[in-house]
Amino acid sequence: MAGFDRTVAEHRAAVLADLHAVAPVSLPIAEARGLVAATPVRAAVALPGFDNAAMDGYAIRLADVTAPGAALPVSGDIPAGSVPAGPLAPGTACRIMTGAPVPDGTEAIVPVEDTDRGTDRVRIDRLPRPGAHLRRRGEDVAEGATVLDAGQLLTPPRIGLLAAVGRPEVLVHPRPRVLVLSTGAELVPAGRPLPPGTIHDANGPMLAAELDRLGAQVLRAPIAGDRPGDLLAALAPALDGGVDLVVTSAGVSAGAYDVVKQDLAGQVEFVRVAMQPGKPQGFGLVGPHHTPVLTLPGNPVSAWVSLQVFVRPALDLLAGRPVIGCPGTTGVLTAPLESPAGREQFLRARTGTGDPLPVTPLGGPGSHLLGSLAHADALVVVPADRITLAAGDSVDVLLPLTPTGSDR
Ligand SMILES: Nc1nc2c(c(=O)[nH]1)N[C@H]1C(S)=C(S)[C@@H](COP(=O)(O)OP(=O)(O)OC[C@H]3O[C@@H](n4cnc5c(N)ncnc54)[C@H](O)[C@@H]3O)O[C@H]1N2
Ligand code: MOO
């Protein structure tokens, strides 16, 4: 690994080793979707909470309906939300609605469609099976059962389950607060005129949008200039414990004005990672609250790849989720590829449809090529020791834009 300090895997491991899940807070369940439970939750009540009817119909005893056409007096009427007046009197039927508690002694529910729908007397046209359309107390969730484990994601059905067992709040790891900060004297926000030699800040909006999509609570700082102290001044408000992670871009390679490197020297470890794009990286715990800071390279493709490869698993860990990072799969190349030796390559590509997944390389390797990145939906990962790849070769593929499900 001449000229490099670490592999991609080594840098990722070094970052993850210093991180902890954000301290749990209790949140209303309506605000918990996509977050991870910090403690197990037990059901204080059984589900269903009482024996009830699964159909609108009539509660009967089996001995009273021995042949189709049997007629019984209707001894009561039980809408959902009410309680039976008493046990089901032998020799009678009780009209009952779906979800209503069944009277004691009920052995089956006859759906209304299998009757003449009588209100004083009812004729039963079809023999019910024993236990038909009866939902038993606790058959779904037993009282005291664990309904949510620590580390499990709050999906909509799990939020429904918490509500069903009467929990209005849940202890979760909150959305990590991530400050996104662009550095560079050449940067101008979109919407402002561009003086000669300047460019619009693309990384800030791109990284912020992706972190928001991945479940972070994104905070933005104004663009930091390239004078010594500019970055520390821009960062200072965030280092008071108000953010869980800082992500900067640019200013980390070998330039004379690489402010990130200068301002964070001694607090952030700057390393050359054997990857392309994304070689210059930095990570450290900064300020009195030891706030994790990841410094990404400035070229937009480098910043994007670094976000997928390093920031994404870090965010998983902070959010208390299983550390998965960018999802990936195995694909098959539709065209040959040349890949420089010595650095793990992350090449932009477009996927087709099929199994195995066809992947077509897109655009050149230049890490400034944001135009082609914007049309890519995959990154082909080529190991450092592979130089030529043929059409039809199997390759590892990252799929950064895969929708983030809440079903992990
Ligand atoms: N002599 C050397 N020069 C460079 C090396 C090296 O090893 N020796 N490494 C190159 C590699 S690889 C990369 S990647 C870049 C990384 O540089 P920095 O992280 O220090 O970033 P800058 O130099 O400030 O900017 C690089 C490039 O990206 C543009 N940029 C920066 N921020 C933004 C932004 N927010 N939005 C859009 N574009 C941005 C910037 O204008 C530059 O063109 O260094 C190489 N050089
Ligand atoms: O590592 Mo740089 O990101 O190659 O362009």
Distance 406 CA to ligand 2 centre (A): 33
* 59 vs 53: CA distance, rounded Å: 8
> From the CA of 302, which ligand is nearest?
2
Give the distance between the most distant pair of CA atoms in the chain: 96
Q: Is residue 354 in a domain?
A: yes
Q: Quick one: which of 404, 349, 403, 402 has its CA closest to 379?
A: 349
> From the CA of 247, which ligand is nearest?
1
pTM of the predicted structure, to 2 decimals: 0.90
> From the CA of 298, which ligand is nearest?
1
In degrees and rounded to multiples of 5, residue 365 shows phi and psi of -80, -10
Please check whether residues 161 and 194 belong to one and the same domain: no
Q: Quick one: which of 51, 20, 26 has its CA closest to 38?
A: 26
Contact 160, 57 (CB under 8 A): no
CA distances from 5 to 85, 134, 322 (A): 79, 67, 28
> From the CA of 346, which ligand is nearest?
2
Q: Is residue 114 in a domain?
A: yes
Q: Is the bond preceding residue 73 a cis peptide, omega within 30 degrees?
A: no
Nearest CA to ligand 1 atom 9: 253
Distance 254 CA to ligand 2 centre (A): 12
Residue 375 belongs to domain spanning: 330-398
> From the CA of 203, which ligand is nearest?
1
Please check whether residues 181 and 192 belong to one and the same domain: yes
Please check whether residues 256 and 373 belong to one and the same domain: no
Please check whether residues 229 and 259 belong to one and the same domain: yes
Q: Residues near ligand 2 with C-beta < 6 Å?
A: 276-279, 297, 299, 302, 367
User: How many Cβ atoms from other residues are within 10 Å of residue 159's Cβ?
Assistant: 19
Q: What is the pLDDT along the chain (408 residues), one digit of tens a residue?
A: 789 999 999 999 999 999 999 999 999 999 999 999 999 999 999 999 999 999 999 999 999 999 999 999 999 999 999 999 999 999 999 999 999 999 999 999 999 999 999 999 999 999 999 999 999 999 999 999 999 999 999 999 999 999 999 999 999 999 999 999 999 999 999 999 999 999 999 999 999 999 999 999 999 999 999 899 999 999 998 999 999 999 999 999 877 778 899 999 999 999 999 999 999 999 999 999 999 999 999 999 999 999 999 999 999 999 999 999 999 999 999 999 988 889 999 999 999 999 999 999 998 889 999 999 999 999 999 999 999 999 999 999 999 999 875 444
Q: Tally DSSP H helices, then E strands, for the chain.
A: 8, 28
Distance 346 CA to ligand 2 centre (A): 10
Nearest CA to ligand 1 atom 45: 253
Distance 299 CA to ligand 1 centre (A): 5
300's CB contacts (< 8 A; 6+ apart) are 202, 203, 206, 367, 368, 370, 373
Please check whether residues 107 and 187 belong to one and the same domain: no
* 286 vs 283: CA distance, rounded Å: 9
**H or E segment to which residue 258 belongs:** none
Pairing of strands 169-173, 41-42: unpaired
Probe target for ligand 2 pocket from 253, 258, 299, 309, with the most ligand atoms within 8 Å of CB: 299
* Cα end-to-end span (Å), the chain: 36
We report the CATH number of the domain holding residue 220 as 3.40.980.10
Nearest CA to ligand 1 atom 12: 279
Which residue is it, tokens 């107390």?
A: 137
Please check whether residues 302 and 198 belong to one and the same domain: yes
Please check whether residues 108 and 56 belong to one and the same domain: yes
Please check whether residues 233 and 285 belong to one and the same domain: yes
Please check whether residues 310 and 236 belong to one and the same domain: yes
Contact 250, 182 (CB under 8 A): yes
Distance 300 CA to ligand 1 centre (A): 9
Work out how many domains the chain is built from and give that number: 4
> Is residue 91 helix, strand or coil?
coil
Q: Which atom of ligand 1 is nearest to the CA of 252?
A: 20
The predicted structure's pLDDT at residue 295: 97
* 90 vs 95: CA distance, rounded Å: 14
> From the CA of 343, which ligand is nearest?
2
Distance 348 CA to ligand 1 centre (A): 19
Please check whether residues 162 and 222 belong to one and the same domain: no
> Is residue 338 helix, strand or coil?
strand
Q: Is residue 324 in a domain?
A: no
We report the CATH number of the domain holding residue 77 as 2.170.190.11
Q: Which atom of ligand 2 is nearest to the CA of 297?
A: 3
**Long-range contact set of residues 190-193: C-beta below 8 Å, sequence gap at least 24:** none
Domain stop point among 107, 135, 163: 135
Distance 37 CA to ligand 1 centre (A): 40
Q: What is the DSSP letter of 255?
A: -
The predicted structure's pLDDT at residue 407: 44
Q: Residues near ligand 1 with C-beta < 6 Å?
A: 182, 184, 186-187, 199, 201-204, 249-255, 258, 277, 279-280, 297-300, 302, 367-368
Contact 154, 406 (CB under 8 A): yes
* 295 vs 195: CA distance, rounded Å: 27
> Is residue 180 helix, strand or coil?
strand
Q: Quick one: which of 116, 140, 127, 120 has its CA closest to 46?
A: 140
Four-residue CA torsion sign, 10, 11, 14, 15:
negative
The predicted structure's pLDDT at residue 405: 55
Contact 332, 358 (CB under 8 A): yes
ipTM: 0.98
Nearest CA to ligand 1 atom 1: 254
Please report, as a single letter, which amino acid is at residue 100. Answer: A
Q: Is residue 110 in a domain?
A: yes
Q: Which atom of ligand 2 is nearest to the CA of 367?
A: 5
Q: Which atom of ligand 2 is nearest to the CA of 275?
A: 1
Which residue is it, tokens 């929990």?
A: 167
Q: Quick one: which of 51, 50, 114, 139 has its CA closest to 93?
A: 114
We report the CATH number of the domain holding residue 169 as 3.90.105.10
Please check whether residues 65 and 81 belong to one and the same domain: yes
